[in-house]
Amino acid sequence: MSRPLIVGFGGTTRPGSSGERMVAAVLSAARALGAETRLFGGADLAALPHFAPENRQRTVEQREFVDAVRAANGLVIGSPGYHGGVSGLVKNAIDLLEDLRDDDRVYFDGLPVGLAVTAAGWQAGGVTLTALRGIVHAMRGWPTPLGIAVNTVAQKPFDAEGHLVDAGILEQVQVQAQQIMLLADL
Ligand SMILES: Cc1cc2nc3c(=O)[nH]c(=O)nc-3n(C[C@H](O)[C@H](O)[C@H](O)COP(=O)(O)O)c2cc1C
């Protein structure tokens, strides 16, 4: 098999958002394990119009996003915990993936999906991670055993340049990338 393609998306509209950085970190660890990767960060997600099921027209950005996920051998999704759940920006991108419903490979069928949540507290991290797992299950994907919940206030995981510096979270990133690659390689 050629190099597996791992596509990641997530974060907020804030440049350098912690969610986008977490997705980028898992993609970077996957690259070190031999993957090709593609990242759709907060600005990319903000360019996606509000999903409307009755509207079959697609923008260039919508097509590019759906085609990338369609071609992926594995996924990484990062969401902030907003009011105890997945943010609207990230959920809007997931809703657009309804376009994969009639594919030969329906939705995320058979795909490993790494999940990372960033929140200002522990509680939103846990419930948002559980919500994301439920979404991935609904879309026939395989959430990796290790999901990552980061408390951005208590842990302060990034340095001033945006590098992930928390050793414990770095280890989780490595393990999640390994788990994604294990399934993506099958
Ligand atoms: C609209 C909104 C709702 C939020 N709700 C919660 C929440 O319910 N629980 C929590 O722990 N943090 C909450 N937060 C904080 C974010 O989860 C936190 O800042 C997270 O790290 C996202 O930051 P980022 O922009 O760096 O990705 C909220 C933030 C916003 C803007």
The CATH number for 151's domain is: 3.40.50.360
Cα of 171 vs centre of ligand 1, distance in Å, is 23
Which pair of tokens denotes residue 40?
Answer: 């759709």
Classified as helix, coil or strand, 36 is: strand
Closest CA to ligand 1's atom 22 = 80
Cα of 71 vs centre of ligand 1, distance in Å, is 31
pLDDT band at 13; cut points 50, 70, 90: very high
Strand partners, 148: 116
Residues near 40 by Cβ (< 8 Å), separated by ≥ 6?
7, 8, 9, 10, 65, 68, 93
Residue 1 has pLDDT above 70, yes or no: no
Which pair of tokens denotes residue 70?
Answer: 């369609």
Supply the range of the domain harboring residue 69. 5-184
- 78 in ligand 1 pocket by Cβ < 6 Å? no
pLDDT at 185: 77
Residue-wise pLDDT for 15-27, tens only, equals 999 999 999 999 9
Residue 136 has pLDDT above 80, yes or no: yes
Residue with tokens 């996920």: 69
| Cα separation, 57 vs 45, whole angstroms | 17
Q: Count the domains in the chain.
A: 1
Rounded mean pLDDT, 71-85: 98
Residue-wise pLDDT for 26-40, tens only, equals 999 999 999 999 999
Strand partners, 147: none
CA distances (Å), 120 to each of 26, 28, 95, 153, 156, in order? 20, 24, 25, 5, 10
- 119 in ligand 1 pocket by Cβ < 6 Å? yes
pLDDT band at 186; cut points 50, 70, 90: confident
- Residue 121 CA: nearest ligand 1 atom is 11
| Cα separation, 156 vs 59, whole angstroms | 37
pLDDT at 54: 96
Which pair of tokens denotes residue 58?
Answer: 């697609």
Cα of 43 vs centre of ligand 1, distance in Å, is 17
pLDDT at 156: 87
In contact, 125 and 149? CB cutoff 8 Å: yes
Calculate the average pLDDT of the chain: 97
